[in-house]
A = this chain, B = another copy of it.
């Protein structure tokens, strides 16, 4: 197990009979170096098994090829698929991804931010919570490039945003239900303090208004992305004197537990309740009935986020803030039906 010290530029330089600077220029394809020596250096590198030490490089150059990724939790299929795509695209761009999760807990989010600042990551892709605006702003001011994905905090200037067109998606979903005669439509959404929550509620409202349907605040349930609350909140809504005939689940974290609850409560879909959920997880077509979903192009979302960050990292000058909204698609399946007589 002869665990020898890892070879350094110096070792390579000596082995190739050249100065360290030349080696550096070879590995970074930087300054000019004679073809012959270049080959000699490359040979030495191969022979010694040299690998640049990124910490040293980062220290010297004050740059990094690592980005941070801050998500609520990666057990939620929405985020996990997003993470998968982001990691892939980042790898394509030569970037490593330091993953942290917040479990929707502001304190953990703060710890994540702290960690990433210490690591001096070059940039961060994050789906931020609502309470650490100051910390995010500070991170940005420290010079860390930041891209918000899916959600964002709008009080912070100069941060790119890539998200879904939530307002539109929610509007379509509600409209689809209204067209089937539904008047009492419940919406389970994330907290209205999050951008996604707000936008989804807004789209829902707009659709109601367009059809002259009065809003009933009791039908809008904001869940701060916690599984436990799902059942109690839901049973409250379903027990209303005038219960809803349709339900939109705009909080991807609780979709499965909502369906579970409906089943155990003996509510049959779509006879008793039409259901639409956000995010087309792999199982949504497997329930009975298959669920109508709002399908997001997660790959595009990830690609955009990585690209935005990457260009920022590689361009010295200060770019204008960009915001990109990706369309989503309503996939109709049997979980919605015309309202009963």
Contacts and interface: CB of A to CB of B under 8 A. Distances in A.
A93 interface: no
Contact of A288 (B80, B114, B118, B287): B287
A285 interface: yes
Nearest to A87: B101
Interface in A66-121: 66, 69, 73-75, 77, 80-81, 83-84, 87-88, 91, 96-101, 103, 108, 111-112, 114-115, 117-120
Nearest to A256: B282
A283 B81 CA distance: 16
A42 interface: no
A39 interface: no
A84 B101 contact: yes
Chain A: interface secondary structure?
mixed
Given A74-B83, A77-B80, 19 more contacts: A1-B141, A1-B158, A51-B117, A51-B118, A54-B119, A54-B120, A59-B59, A75-B81, A77-B77, A77-B282, A80-B84, A87-B101, A96-B98, A98-B99, A256-B283, A256-B286, A257-B282, A260-B285, A283-B286
Contact of A74 (B56, B87, B98, B103): B87
A102 to B, nearest CB: 10
Contact of A55 (B58, B84, B117): B58
21 contacts: A1-B158, A1-B318, A2-B141, A51-B114, A51-B118, A52-B118, A53-B59, A66-B119, A74-B83, A74-B84, A77-B77, A88-B103, A91-B108, A96-B100, A96-B115, A99-B99, A256-B286, A257-B282, A263-B286, A287-B287, A288-B288
A143 B3 contact: yes
A14 interface: no
A1 B137 CA distance: 10
Interface in A258-275: 259-260, 263
Copies assembled: 2
A83 B77 CA distance: 12
Nearest to A101: B87
Interface of A: 1-3, 6, 51-56, 58-59, 64, 66, 69, 73-75, 77, 80-81, 83-84, 87-88, 91, 96-101, 103, 108, 111-112, 114-115, 117-120, 141-143, 158, 256-257, 259-260, 263, 281-283, 285-288, 318
Looking at A59, A99, A111, which has the most chain B CB atoms within 10 Å of its CB?
Answer: A99
A339 B143 CA distance: 66
Contact of A96 (B1, B119, B288): B119
B75 A142 contact: no
B111 A91 contact: yes
Nearest to A262: B286
A198 to B, nearest CB: 26
A80 B87 contact: no
B80 A75 contact: yes
Looking at A52, A100, A286, which has the most chain B CB atoms within 10 Å of its CB?
Answer: A286
A282 B283 CA distance: 9
Contacts of A259: 286
A99 B114 CA distance: 18
